[in-house]
Structure 1
Amino acid sequence: MTESEVKQHWEDRYAERDRIWSGKVNRWLAEVAAPLTPGRALDLGCGEGGDSLWLAEQGWQVVGVDISETALGRAAEEAARRGLTDRIRLVQMNLSESFPEGSFDLVSAQFLQSMVHLDRERIFASAAGAVAPGGLLIVIDHGAAPPWAHHVKDHVFPGVDEVLGTIDLGAGRWERVRVGTVERDAVGPDGQAGVLIDNLIVLRRV
């Protein structure tokens, strides 16, 4: 797919409803980041801004990046409503083609998975390079399909080691803070309860 086709895919996706995501921070990001001293954070694929807004509320200066202008518009509206515009900068960008400049104390990629083209290896390499010394890189993936998602039951989700193998850390030294599979309770679109499996990778640049 061309860059314009990928962008249109996500614009169409966000046009389906007034809000796609819950607006809440992702559980594992909150668990990892809550005890940290706020600094500069980069939220890759920020969508409607749930994680970026939460980080800003904790005192972080946040750059949120997404390909969808519709999603970023919703994030900007919510940031203004909460009085957080001075702590969040929202950038429209196709991460498969380009990447924000600068270094960050926290770089977060939450469920940066897509059914259309997404150059994860390039993105993860850039993400690792953007982590300041002492900073954290957090990558969280779906480790398996939700039990109610029958349309993707044949899709093979990467395991933790496979995801870790796609992250080009360059020549720097990294500490494995937390690497493994985690589970969380969730409720499906029709109210059905289930357990979701995630891959959680937290690395500190030494």
Structure 2
Amino acid sequence: MTTDPHTISPDTSPEEFWDTFYSAEDRVWSGRPNAALVRETTGLTPGSALDLGCGEGADAIWLARQGWRVTAVDVSQVALDRAAGHAASEGVGDHIEWQRHDLSESFPAGTFDLVSAHFFHSRLELPRDQILRTAAGVVAPGGVLLITGHAAFPSWAPDPGPEFHFPTPEAVLAGLDLADGEWDVLVSDVHVENMTAPDGQPATRTDNTLKVRRH
């Protein structure tokens, strides 16, 4: 993210921050779905899916192509409008419902066979555990909650200092406070992804994935 957190006004709302972030460039992300989403949902029977923090829509579009009916949520209307345009150009616009929510204040209605939250981090204050507990609550019986997050800053990034902390998969699971006997932990791991740094050099990024299924 290019926005300097030290320049963020305390009066800046999440919608203002993320609208500014997405307005700075015509396309921020690669347009490819997150690797963990592809890896962990391939083989699941398509049904209803909720994509939290959908950004420019790559994950939602990929899910729609696989036959999922997707509700895609973001706080930024700029991102949602851009995502809807990408979905329409890919021919899957009618399989995705785009909803704007500040998830600390409102949440999509209904239950879902898949709830996905990828890289659900923010430079603004965010009640992440609370939101993810709400996400677990809308998983339908037999459904899956999939959470992927950074485990560390990428290898090319400067050391941000000890004030930055990324939760482990175990910490994410503990924060969900899932009812005993109602869920199975399918995946809880940390993995290293080989990639290319912005300067074109080989690099790595360490992420974690938690995948749980409701009985």
Which bin holds the TM-score, normalised by the shorter protein?
A: over 0.9
| 1:11 equivalent in alignment to 2:19 | yes
User: Take 1:202 and 1:65, find their aligned partners in 2: how far apart are those partners?
Assistant: 20
TM-score, with normalisation over the residues of structure 2? Answer: 0.91
Moved more, 5-14 or 168-177: 168-177
Whole-angstrom distance in 1 between the partners of 2:30 and 2:179: 35
Q: Report the Cα distance in structure 2 between the residues aligned to 1:23 and 1:47, rounded to whole angstroms.
A: 10
Is 1:130 the counterpart of 2:130 in the alignment? Answer: no
- Counterpart of 2:172 in structure 1 is 163
**2:6 aligned partner:** none
Kept in 2, the 8 Å contact 1:128–1:168? The answer is: no
Q: 1:199 aligns with which of 188, 208, 211?
A: 208
Q: Equivalents in 2 of 1:98, 1:169: separation in Å? A: 21
1:181 to 171, 185, 190: 190
Runs in 1 of length 4+ with deviation above 3 angstroms?
Answer: none
Structure 1 partner of 2:150: 142
Distance 1:172 1:130, change over 3 A: farther
Residue identity matched to 1:189: P
Residue 184 (structure 1) shift: 1.0
Which letter maps to 2:177? D
How much does 1:169 deviate?
Answer: 2.3
Which of 34, 37, 43 is 1:26 aligned to?
A: 34
**Is 1:76 paired with 2:78?**
no
Cα distance in 1 between the residues matched to 2:25 and 2:153: 22
TM-score normalised by the chain length of structure 1? 0.95
Q: Which runs of 5+ in 2 are unaligned?
A: 1-9
Q: Does 1:103 align with 2:111?
A: yes
Task: Give the number of aligned pairs.
Answer: 205
Consecutive unaligned residues in structure 1, runs of 5 or more: none
Q: CA RMSD in A?
A: 1.4
Aligned partner of residue 54 in structure 1, secondary structure:
helix
The CA deviation at 1:30 is 0.4
Distance in 2 (alpha carbons) for counterparts of 1:171 and 1:165: 12
Note if 1:92 corresponds to 2:116. Answer: no
